[in-house]
Amino acid sequence: MYFESLANELLLDIFEFFDGIDLFRSFYGLNTRFNNLLSTHFHPYRFDFRSISKHDFNFICHHCLPLIIERIISLKLSNDDETPNLPNFLFSYGFTLDKFIRLQSLSLYSISSFKELNDIIVRCHQLPYLTHLYLIDGANDGEKKDTQLLFNNIWHLKKLHHLSINYILLGKLCLSRISVESLSIQYLYIENITCDLKNLLHLFKYTPNLRYLNAAIHYNVADEQIPIQICSITSLKLTFESSVPVMIKLFQMMPNLYSLTLKTMDIYLSGNKWKKILLNYLPKLQIFRLRMYFEFPHEKNINEQFEKLINTYRSSFWIKKHQWFVQCDSIPFGTYNHGILYTLPYAFNSFICYDTLISKYTCPDEKTYWRYKHVNSLQYMKYKINPTDYLNILPIQFPNIQHLKIGFPFDEQFYSFIPSLNQLKSLEIVLGENYIYQQLQTLINLSPCLYSLRLFYSFDSKVSVKQITSSSIRRLSFITKCSMTLAYFNNDECTDLAYSQLGQQCEVLVIKIENRNNVLILINIMKNLRSLVVQCKVDTWDKRNTSLNEDELVEWLRLSLPSTYSICRDTNETSYIRIWIGENINNTFLSH
């Protein structure tokens, strides 16, 4: 049976599994029937523009969006290195957010300008179905008044149900400036916005129907008053860096808490003390996930301290009543020993493998507790393991790793933790003096879905990059940790990289170059390149003394490259110039 012989109803069902970009790239223009299905009959369009080429983006804007803009329910826009300035290009076509009248979910990535964000959010006030809003990976470049305006504009969205704001540089002050009440927001993710109890109380006052909160509490005083409780919150995920009294006051604010996922810093509590806190202040708690990071008193015997601590988590309250099992790892740092105690199964999405001194656990010796299936981001920082230490290593498994940072060379024990690298998407490697090419190649060979390779090097290892092969890598980033003389690629190194197997298939490149002509070498040879981010050694532009209109290097690039290319400086890392490569051919989709 041929695909085209399927009934229209089946085809429309199949289309629902495709992103809008893939739908039009795959089916638009095949024949009148498919064109009619896409432009007239298919409804729940979802568009993710985060990794689109400028040529394909222009095609979508010219030929597709005018036909279906009122049927798009999900939209993801990004201003990162892969699609620099994309939101502004979209709006320049006249597709402002108020035109997406059926939009239910909006995700905005790496938009640093609060003025731009405010303009977008104001347009969203006219969207009657918008329930999900995500602001991801941005940085605060605005003044206090911009922050206040942004948050009030968001809280003014009448149907908003889920809100995630992952802007690392936002401070405590932003929450205290909210002055618009939202009765619709029930799920709030602000884990990178630091709060104190005063700010949190203000947030609760203007968001009275919260059910789930993901937040961070840092550096508070213990004597703050608690005038209100918020009974609607039943689930809390918290990163906490403060004192135990402040933590108790926080728990008193949420008497109906059913689920608590908690990461603490510099808090050292025994199982008996945790039991008392949970029974007294969180009587309805049923789900408790903990990661407690602390420092052992260095003047006392570490083995005795360790044994005494882990035994407090072996009582019937922990083992029989709740089956809250824990593991504790002791990690040596110079003359100090740090400890990490966490509940099992491990419930957090990131993990760092250290050179541990001691590990003990309270769970049954079953494989299910050693499968850290929630971890998708792993740092492997083991350097000092001797073969004789392998007998003390627990059989931990990380089956779902998507992001890995690892130092080279690494010990072969690493592979005992990783049953498969089939889901690995991004790899960051720190190359040491004894870096072995074959070890890196073996790791890449075991990662069939690897998309991004980022290199940190402590010596001049650029020449070895041309040896690496991979059928999947499409993004390369080169970052140095050492002297500036080794950081920049010269003409020969750029040529070697461009002609290498990785260079020929590379689509996104982040690199430091010695001179501006290296840009032309890279673009002319790397035929699949769609985005190039460069820092040029001879760039004389100074943000403090020069206006954008006098940016000599940017102007030279605009004169040297086709007018279809977008060229601009990164608003955060102003020494980097971002080039979004446009088409050089007729207005059809590029072959992939």
Condensed to tens digits (0 to 9), the pLDDT of residues 191-204 reads 888 888 888 888 99
**What size, in residues, is the chain?**
592
In 285-396 the beta strands, taken as DSSP E runs, fall at 287-295, 325-333, 336-344, 350-353, 358-361, 377-380
Side chain identity at residue 410, one-letter code: F
Give yes or no for residue 5 having a pLDDT over 90. Answer: no
Give yes or no for residue 44 having a pLDDT over 60. Answer: yes
Q: What is the pLDDT of residue 302?
A: 81
Residue 189 falls within a domain, yes or no? no
Strand-pair partners of 238: 215, 262
C-alpha–C-alpha distance, residues 556 and 278, integer Å: 64
Give yes or no for residue 391 having a pLDDT over 50. Answer: no
Query: How high does pLDDT run on average in the chain?
Result: 87
Is there a contact between 75 and 105 (Cβ–Cβ < 8 Å)?
Answer: yes
Residue 263 falls within a domain, yes or no? no
Helix (H, G, I), strand (E, B) or coil at 27: helix
Helix (H, G, I), strand (E, B) or coil at 520: helix
On the 0-12 / 13-18 / 19+ scale of CB atoms within 10 A, 440 is buried
Helices (H), 63-137: 65-68, 86-92, 114-124
Both tokens of residue 180?
């618009």
Helix (H, G, I), strand (E, B) or coil at 470: coil
Which of the four pLDDT bands, split at 50, 70 and 90, describes residue 341?
A: very high
Give the residue from 523, 511, 521, 510 showing the smallest Cα distance to 562.
523
Domain count, the chain: 2
Is there a contact between 410 and 380 (Cβ–Cβ < 8 Å)?
Answer: yes
Considering only residues 399 and 384, tell me which one the structure prediction assigns the higher pLDDT.
Answer: 399
Residue 326 falls within a domain, yes or no? no
Average pLDDT over residues 66-76: 95
Which of the four pLDDT bands, split at 50, 70 and 90, describes residue 2?
A: confident
Both tokens of residue 476?
């390369």
Side chain identity at residue 516, one-letter code: R
Residue 499 falls within a domain, yes or no? yes
Strand-pair partners of 549: none
Which conformational region is residue 517 in: left (phi greater than 0), alpha (psi within -120 to 50 degrees), or beta? alpha
Give yes or no for residue 485 having a pLDDT over 60. Answer: no
Sheet with 577-580, edge to edge strand ranges: 350-353, 377-380, 403-408, 426-431, 452-457, 475-480, 508-513, 531-536, 577-580, 566-569
C-alpha–C-alpha distance, residues 480 and 459, integer Å: 8
Q: What is the pLDDT of residue 590?
A: 36
Both tokens of residue 211?
């059910």
Q: What is the pLDDT of residue 464?
A: 64
Helices (H), 195-243: 197-206
Kindly calculate the radius of gyration of the chain based on its CA atoms and give it in whole angstroms: 27
Q: What is the pLDDT of residue 172?
A: 60
Chosen domain end from 11, 26, 42: 42
C-alpha–C-alpha distance, residues 187 and 150, integer Å: 18
Considering only residues 393 and 83, tell me which one the structure prediction assigns the higher pLDDT.
Answer: 83
Is there a contact between 418 and 392 (Cβ–Cβ < 8 Å)?
Answer: no
Residue 20 falls within a domain, yes or no? yes
Residue 435 falls within a domain, yes or no? no
Helix (H, G, I), strand (E, B) or coil at 47: strand
Side chain identity at residue 397, one-letter code: Q
Is there a contact between 530 and 537 (Cβ–Cβ < 8 Å)?
Answer: no
Q: Which span out of 143-157, 167-181, 220-234, 250-264 was modeled with the highest average pLDDT? A: 250-264
Q: What is the pLDDT of residue 228?
A: 73
Rounded-to-10 torsion of CA 33, 35, 40, 42: 90
Structural domain boundaries enclosing 25 = 1-42
Give yes or no for residue 66 having a pLDDT over 60. Answer: yes
Considering only residues 121 and 483, tell me which one the structure prediction assigns the higher pLDDT.
Answer: 121
Give yes or no for residue 481 having a pLDDT over 60. Answer: no
Both tokens of residue 269?
């509590």
Q: What is the pLDDT of residue 224?
A: 59
Residue 30 falls within a domain, yes or no? yes
C-alpha–C-alpha distance, residues 406 and 525, integer Å: 31
Is there a contact between 107 and 77 (Cβ–Cβ < 8 Å)?
Answer: yes
**Do you find a cis peptide bond into 44, omega within 30 degrees of 0?**
no
Residue 507 falls within a domain, yes or no? yes
